[in-house]
Chain A
Amino acid sequence: MIIFLAAFIILLGISAPITVALGGCSLVYALVGGTVPITTLIQTTFGGLTSFPLLAIPLFMLAGNLMNEGGLTPDLVNFARNLLGHIRGGLGHATILACAIFAAISGAAVATAVAIGVVMLPAMKKAGYDEGVAAALTSSASCLGPIIPPSIPFIIYGVSANVSIAGLFVGGVVPGLVLAGALMVYMHFVAARHDYPRDPRKPGKEILTAAGKALPALFMPVLIMGGILSGMFTPTEAAGVTVVYSAVIGAFYYRQLTFRNLPKVFLKSGLESGMVMLLIAMSEPFAWFVAADQIPQLIIDWISQVTTSPYAILFLINVFLLLLGIPMETAPALVIVTPILVPIAAAVGIDPIHLGIVVCLNLVLGLITPPVGAVLFAVCGMTGMPLDRLSRAIWPPFFVSLGVLGLVTYLPWLSTFLPRLVLGR
């Protein structure tokens, strides 16, 4: 076990790719320990690459990219602005709403930040919003991407922890809405303090026209969740249906998607999902060695000498994940911690769906935790804003999101009552 853990920590420290660190420690263990054949490493890696539920990852990524390329986002943003632009902090609220709707189509935070930010950030700047406030709000709201279903982190967690992905998708709805609501309350107070301008109130007819134009996009969450909840299809099949739906409306309704740009979209999605899939594949032998060496059991024994309270353990898990999320992205952190945390949580009676939502929300916040965060980098790249400035501006909405994480952690029914109600889990 010492060889295994030491190899992993050393490889991470010397800046080897995380996939190499995950697979490399298993390789070193197999070579040096000699008790496990190296073919186990290949077989478990192959097993990780050929899992049917994981097909949902490239397909949801493809659907999101097809939507973007198909020209859906401007109509979505226009609808959100027509609906909420006239209230105090209206553009900020419209950004949050647009992110929430986009989150119900895409499953990733960076994709949400880029798709919505590219339209809303210049609009907020033009209306007189402080650039730092606008960028920080967009960054925080993009965290809705992986919490409101569908969600790439939920799929990764579900497969690693052997927990129902449909259950996680349904469980993420209320925490996602609570996060959106909390950010809207925050925006209201910021707008009141700075007296940000409002859009003129739009007539009902204009709002209906905007809603009509955005209808194909607004229907997509209904298609995904409706199909899964009605038992018509699995999350993987929902992803496949979403791909076809995005391609059809992109080509025939919005008329932006052509056969010529399809290979580009396929390649982009293949590269994005390839990175995540290799991480998952490499985490399979990692998880196998972790289980074989009974590492979670050792940690459970150690923790149980300190406390057996689920609340205290959830607190420790949150602190650990917040620290881990600073240097590490969501997907690698998830594949590393899930095989260790799930048995620990199970030992003290924490619901695996509740744990999944706490872990994913926590690690997603890592994307906006300075100084390292993929969403912060993406928003800085779009706006040309220095990272230092966004790193300062992000703290207020980050703490609002942290408050929501606290609520989701200590009010388990926020995550579990909908799955129980709808799926009977």
Chain B
Amino acid sequence: MQVLKEFNEFLMKVGSGGTILFMAVMAIVIPYEVIGRYIFQKMSIWSGEVSTYSLAWASMLGSAVGLKKGYQVSMTSVVESIPPAAAKILKWTAYLFTLFFFAAMFYYGLYQTIYNSKQTSPAMGLVMSVPYASLPAGFFIMFFLTLEEFLVFIGQGKKGDAR
């Protein structure tokens, strides 16, 4: 559990750093495009691709880090209105399905990333694996953060190890 916790702390640092970086890229590129158009009278062919691919990366990393910080929402009204024992079974099921979903999305995301390694983007000629890799990267972080939370939930980790 300690190894998983340390690994997740590392993932959180990488995810947070990446989110900051790609948010900064978007915040610079879009105004640059407007300023370039009106002040320097020229349009760049790369800004659309750089900003939308940064959006994909910032969104996947931001939502993964947000998972740990409680940003992801779920409907808890059913679970809160039934006896605790039954609620625990439902939560177990929810955790297991969530782990399965993140693992499947990681696997097929990675498949699609490799599949697109020979395709290039129309404007910049960037290998399409680069933006596609945001999906497996984000789901990879989400899987391990959820795994830690699940282990705490079933009593394998110490209280306070996870949210």
Contacts and interface: CB of A to CB of B under 8 A. Distances in A.
24 contacts: A12-B75, A14-B91, A15-B76, A16-B98, A19-B63, A38-B104, A42-B135, A45-B105, A46-B131, A52-B48, A232-B34, A240-B29, A240-B31, A243-B27, A266-B20, A272-B62, A273-B58, A274-B19, A277-B55, A277-B59, A277-B62, A278-B59, A327-B77, A329-B73
Contacts of B77: 327, 372
B23 interface: yes
A327 B77 CA distance: 7
A55 B111 contact: no
B58 A58 contact: yes
A343 interface: no
A24 B60 CA distance: 17
Chain B: interface residue count, which band? 35 or more
Contacts of A161: none
Interface of A: 11-21, 23-24, 27, 38-39, 41-43, 45-46, 49-52, 54-55, 58-59, 62, 232-233, 236-237, 239-241, 243-244, 247, 263, 266-267, 269-275, 277-278, 281, 327-329, 332, 372
A273 B19 CA distance: 10
Main SS of chain A's interface residues?
Answer: helix
Contacts of B26: 55, 58-59, 240
A372 B71 CA distance: 16
Contact of B94 (A14, A273, A281, A332): A14
Interface string B77-121: 111000000000011011001100110110011011001000000
A233 B76 CA distance: 42
Nearest to B24: A266
Contacts of A20: 97-98, 101-102
Best-surrounded residue of A17, A54, A327 (most CB of chain B within 10 A): A17
Contacts of B79: 14-15
Given A14-B79, A45-B105, 18 more contacts: A11-B97, A13-B78, A15-B78, A16-B98, A17-B73, A20-B98, A42-B108, A46-B132, A49-B134, A55-B30, A55-B51, A58-B59, A233-B34, A240-B29, A240-B33, A267-B19, A273-B59, A274-B64
